[in-house]
Amino acid sequence: MQSIEKKGKSVDEAISSALEELGVAIEEVDVEILEEPSRGLLGIIGNKSALVRVNIKEKPAKLVEEKLIALLDGMKIDYELDKIEVQDGLIRINITGKDMGLLIGRKGETLNAVQFILGLIVNRSAKERIRVVLDVEDYRLRKEESLRNMAVNLSDKVKRTRRSVIMRPMSPHERRVIHTALQNDPEIVTFSQGEEPHRKVVISLKK
């Protein structure tokens, strides 16, 4: 993390000087006031300047990219980072390369494990919680579309039969896809039940 200390007649002056030298805006930094300015004898002798430390905030996407590269390099996987997208506080990364089936694993279990580990590593050094979705050749995107279609079909079944449907156990991310897919349906309510890793989504009629 890039950091600089600056003095000034006032705190604002010291901060402005630091921002100018770093070439960044105030929104991109954390500011720590080390010393407040004070006036000396007769307002002249012994005047004390303000002293601030300005740290450039580490961008979440860059932090995630660095940690992921270190993690995948340690796994000796031949890969390329296809794209990194930031949407609504969610960082989505898509990976391509050879033998990606090994990284996905059975029913996505290996991919889920790598994503979980990456989240732990990233959030250990982040000031605010970072949500990460790790994908391989758009495997999750295709699976999410399949889950959304399944949610709509099951909700139609619930409306026809007037009976609730309990889905198979799913990961937290998969359950979130189901909840989101049906959240605007005025006739349907969804909720999760059970304990991890056997937690399931229930689709029911609103009472």
pTM above 0.75, yes or no: no
Task: Give the residue numbers spanning the domain of 89.
Answer: 60-137
Of 83, 103, 137, the domain-final residue:
137
Nearest alpha carbon to residue 104 among 135, 73, 126, 128: 135
**In the prediction, which pLDDT does 45 show?**
47
pLDDT, greater one: 89 or 108: 108
What is the average pLDDT value for the chain, to the nearest integer? 88
Are residues 132 and 149 located together in one domain of the fold? Answer: no
pLDDT (mean) for 119-132:
80
Q: How many domains does the chain have?
A: 3
Please say whether the dihedral angle defined by the alpha carbons of residues 24, 27, 28 and 30, taken in this order, is positive or negative: positive
- Whether the per-residue pLDDT at 85 is higher than 90: the answer is no
CATH classification of the domain holding 125: 3.30.300.20
pLDDT, greater one: 41 or 102: 102
